[in-house]
Amino acid sequence: MRMITLGDPETVPDSAVELAYALVRTVGAAEARDLIVHGIRSAPNDRSDVVDGWVALAAGMDVLARATRH
């Protein structure tokens, strides 16, 4: 599995970034963050410390995607 580094030593799988990107495009950054935080906090390991990076990366990807469409 390919990983994306979001700061030392945190890494996030591509699938997580793709999920964040899809959520940001669908419901917006704030709601996406809330959904991801809720999902992470419901998991056995609390990893909410990397959520902001996922959402920021996804929001940046969305901005780039919109800019290149024109």
Q: What is the DSSP letter of 5?
A: E
Structure-model confidence comparison of residues 5 and 14, the more confident one: 14
Per residue in 26-65, pLDDT (tens digit) is 888 888 888 887 777 776 665 666 677 777 778 877 777 7
| pTM of the predicted model over 0.75 | no
Domain extent at residue 26: 3-69
**CA-based max dimension of the chain:** 43
* Count of domains forming the chain: 1
